Chains A and B, each alone.
Chain A
Amino acid sequence: MITTLDQKKTRKFKDAENYKTETDTYYLLPLKFKSLNNNYDIITNDIGDFVIVPKNVVTKIVTKQLRKEDDLEVYYELLANFMISETPVSELLEVIVARYRTKKAFLDQFTSLHIFVISLRCEHTCHYCQVSRVTQNKEAFDMSTFHIDEGIKLMMQSPNPNITMEFQGGEALLAFDKIEYAVAQAKKLATAYNKNITFVICTNLAPLTDEMLVFIKDNDILVSTSLDGPKFIHNENRKRPGNNSYELTIAGIEKCREVLGEDKVSALMTTSSLSLKHPKEIIDEYVGLGFANIFLRPISPYGFAKYNPNKNHYFIEEFLDFYKEGLLHILDYNKKGIFIAEDYASILLKKIFTPFAVGYVDLQSPAGILNSVVVFNYDGKIYASDEARMIAESKDYKFQVGVLGESSYEEVFYGEKILEIAESWSNESLAGCSDCAFQPYCGADPVLNYATQGDLYGFRPTSIFCKKNMEIIRFLFELMTEDKENERIFKSWITGFQT
C-alpha cells in the first residue's frame, strides 16, 4: 500500500495519553522467571528483555490478577518488554520475530574461528596446562605443511566471509616458520574465496624475536598472551627454565605495544588455586600495565589439567567468591574514573542489553562447537572445539570429527558425530535450562558436560557450568538493582562510552 502525504503528518511521539488503552485484559507472551534474591524476582523472555519485580508480583501476573490501574508502571514495563500483550497475538509479533532471528544470527554465518595447533612443543611446564608438553622432535610435534594446506582448504569452505585463523600451541612461536607458511597460504586463497581473515597468535611471548615482530606487524596479526597476575603468581603458575616467565611476558607485551600498537596485544589469565586468594592483586597488575580489560577465567577441567589435583582443584563456589571479589574491585576502579572491564561480564551484559548475537563460543545456544569454532590439531586430527582437543590429550577421541586430508567438509561439519552432539547443544531443550530465566543469556556446552559429568546432555543440579553462569548472571542483576552507578558502568563496558 502506498502511503499518501495526508496520512503521514508526523512521526513524532504523541502524548502519553494517546498510548493508554482502555482494555484491562492482557495475554501472556512467552516468559520465564526466577528468584533474584530475597526481595526481587526477574522475568525474562526469549529475546533477552528483562523486568525486575518485587516478590509475589509474578504470581499476580501469571494468574491475571495484575490490574493496570493499580500497577501502571509494572504493567507498561511488561507490555513494552514483550512479556504481555493486549491482543491474543501481539501486534508487534514481527518485531519479536526479527529480534529472535537477530539473536540467533550467528547460525547464518556458521564457523568463524579456525584454530590451528601449529605445534605441541612448549618450553613452559605450566601445572594447569590442558595439553601435554613436549620440547623436542620438531618433525613429530609441529603441524606439517600438508595438514596446514588441508586445514586452509576446509577454512575457505566456511560460509562465513569473516574468519579468524588462530595459531595455538604448545607454544606457537616455536614453529614460527609454519606460521609464516600458513599466513602466506591463507592470504593467497583469501582473495579467491572472498574471505576477510583475522590472524591471531596465542603465545607466552618467551620466544619472541624482533624478526618475528616485523612479520607480525607486516601481516597485521593480533597477539594474545597469558598473564596470570603479579610475578609471584605468574611464575608460580607458569614454570620454565630460569623461572622468568613473568619477566619475559612483560617484556614481550611492551615490545608488542611498541612495535604493533597498544590494541594489538591482549592478555588472558587463568585462575589457579593460588590465584583464588589474590583477586585484587591480579586486577591491580592488569591496571598497572594499562590494560582496559581482564578476563577472570576459571581453570579448565580438561585433559592434562585434571592430573594435578593438588594445584588445580578447587570448587566452583571458591571461584565464584574470587570472581565476585574481583568484580567489585573492578567496579571500584571504574567509580574512581579508571576504565577497566571484566570480559566475561561484558559478554553476558551484551546478551542482556543488546539485541545482537554474541560470538563467544562457551555461551551460545546452539553451542559454539563447530557452529563457531573448529580445531585442526598438529597431527591432522580435527576436533569440535579447543576443549575437545584437550579431552583428546587424555586419549578420549569422542569429539574428533575428522582428519585433515581425509575428511570432506560435509563429513566434518555435518557428520554423524555432530548429529549426536546436536541433540544436546541447545539449552532451549535441556532439562533444567528450558524453564530457566537466564537461558537467553546462557549457553549449552556438551563438551564440558561430557568432561565433567560423563555424558553430553549433562545434569544441571550438579553442573559447574550451570552453577557458575547462574550465579554470575544473578550477581550482575543484583549489582544493578543495588546501585544505578553499577548499571551505568556495565553499559560503558559494552559501548565503550563513558558518561
Chain B
Amino acid sequence: MNQINYNDGILSFKLSATDYSESVVYKCMYWYLGDYNVAISKDVNDYMVTISLKNAKNFDEEELIVCLKNDLIDFKLRELVNNETSTIRELITAKAFANYDFNMNEESLHEISDPVGFDPKDIKL
C-alpha cells in the first residue's frame, strides 16, 4: 500500500499493479462493501482506492489499514493457490461428474483375495 491518506472520513491509497492483480484487488475490496463506500480506479502502474464509511463520517483508519493489509495478503495467497491448482481442480470436477455405467453384477476381471485371511467371496449378498 502506497500514498496512504486519511482526510475528512475518506481513506485513500495506491496499490501497485505489479504486486496485485485486478482480481486480488476486487475480491479483497468486495468484503468492505457492506460497511464502506469503495471506489477503485487504475492508471498504468497503480490502483487508486478510496474508502469511506456508509453510515458515519469518521472511523479508526489505523485499524482499517491493518485489516486491509492482512486481507490483501490473504487474497494474494489465494490467487497463488488458484493459479497453481486450477487445472487439477478442473480435472477432479470433470472426472467426478463424468457419466459412466457401473454394473455391480459384472464379473471382475481382477482376482479378488486377501492374504490376511478375509475372503470377499464369502460375503452373502
User: Using a CB–CB distance below 8 Å, which chain A residues touch chain B?
Assistant: 1-3, 5, 8-12, 27-34, 46, 58-59, 62-63, 89-90, 93-94, 96-98, 100-101, 104, 431-432, 435, 459-462
A58 to B111, CA, bound (A): 44
A100 to B95, CA, bound (A): 9
- Nearest-CB distance from A13 to chain B (Å)? 11
A432 to B75, CA, bound (A): 11
- Known contacts A2-B111, A30-B88, A97-B96; A62 and B77 CB within 8 A of each other: yes
- Known contacts A29-B88, A93-B92, A100-B93; A9 and B115 CB within 8 A of each other: yes
Q: Across the interface, do B81 and A30 meet the contact criterion of CB distance under 8 Å?
A: yes
A-B contact pairs, 7 of them (CB 8 A): A8-B115, A29-B88, A31-B85, A33-B78, A98-B96, A100-B96, A461-B33
Chain A residues with CB below 8 A from B84, complex form: 27-28
- Nearest-CB distance from A294 to chain B (Å)? 31
- Nearest-CB distance from A50 to chain B (Å)? 15
A460 to B115, CA, bound (A): 54
Q: Across the interface, do B81 and A31 meet the contact criterion of CB distance under 8 Å?
A: yes
10 A-B pairs besides A9-B115, A98-B96 with CB distance below 8 A are: A1-B110, A2-B111, A8-B115, A11-B114, A30-B89, A62-B77, A96-B92, A100-B92, A100-B93, A462-B34
Q: B125 within 8 Å of A by Cβ?
A: no
A97 to B89, CA, bound (A): 10
Report the stretch among B10-18, B24-32, B43-51, B57-65 that lies at the interface: B24-32
* Partner of A435 from B27, B34, B114 at Cβ < 8 Å: B27
Chain B residues with CB below 8 A from A432, complex form: 30-31
- When C-beta atoms are compared, the residue in chain B nearest to A28 turns out to be B84
- Known contacts A2-B110, A10-B116, A30-B81; A461 and B89 CB within 8 A of each other: no
**Overall SS of chain B's interface:** helix
Q: Which 6 A-B pairs have the closest CB atoms?
A: A461-B34, A100-B96, A101-B96, A30-B89, A30-B85, A97-B95
A98 to B78, CA, bound (A): 25
- Nearest-CB distance from A481 to chain B (Å)? 20
* Partner of A11 from B73, B110, B116 at Cβ < 8 Å: B116
Q: Across the interface, do A10 and B115 meet the contact criterion of CB distance under 8 Å?
A: yes
- Nearest-CB distance from A75 to chain B (Å)? 17
A10 to B77, CA, bound (A): 43
Q: Across the interface, do B30 and A59 meet the contact criterion of CB distance under 8 Å?
A: no
- Nearest-CB distance from B112 to chain A (Å)? 9
- Known contacts A97-B96, A461-B31, A461-B34; A59 and B81 CB within 8 A of each other: no
Chain A residues with CB below 8 A from B85, complex form: 28-31
A304 to B89, CA, bound (A): 43
Chain A residues with CB below 8 A from B30, complex form: 431-432, 460-461
* Partner of B73 from A1, A27, A59 at Cβ < 8 Å: A59
A8 to B110, CA, bound (A): 14
Q: Across the interface, do A46 and B92 meet the contact criterion of CB distance under 8 Å?
A: yes
Q: Across the interface, do B96 and A104 meet the contact criterion of CB distance under 8 Å?
A: yes
Chain A residues with CB below 8 A from B110, complex form: 1-3
- Known contacts A30-B81, A31-B81; A3 and B111 CB within 8 A of each other: yes
* Partner of A58 from B31, B77, B95, B96 at Cβ < 8 Å: B77
- Nearest-CB distance from B76 to chain A (Å)? 9
A59 to B78, CA, bound (A): 10
Chain A residues with CB below 8 A from B91, complex form: 89, 93
Of the listed residues A34, A46, A89, A435, the one surrounded by the most CB atoms of chain B closer than 10 A to its CB is A435
Q: Across the interface, do A11 and B31 meet the contact criterion of CB distance under 8 Å?
A: no
- Nearest-CB distance from A78 to chain B (Å)? 13
- Nearest-CB distance from A239 to chain B (Å)? 36
A148 to B85, CA, bound (A): 50
- Nearest-CB distance from A95 to chain B (Å)? 10
- Nearest-CB distance from B75 to chain A (Å)? 8
- When C-beta atoms are compared, the residue in chain A nearest to B95 turns out to be A97
A90 to B30, CA, bound (A): 33
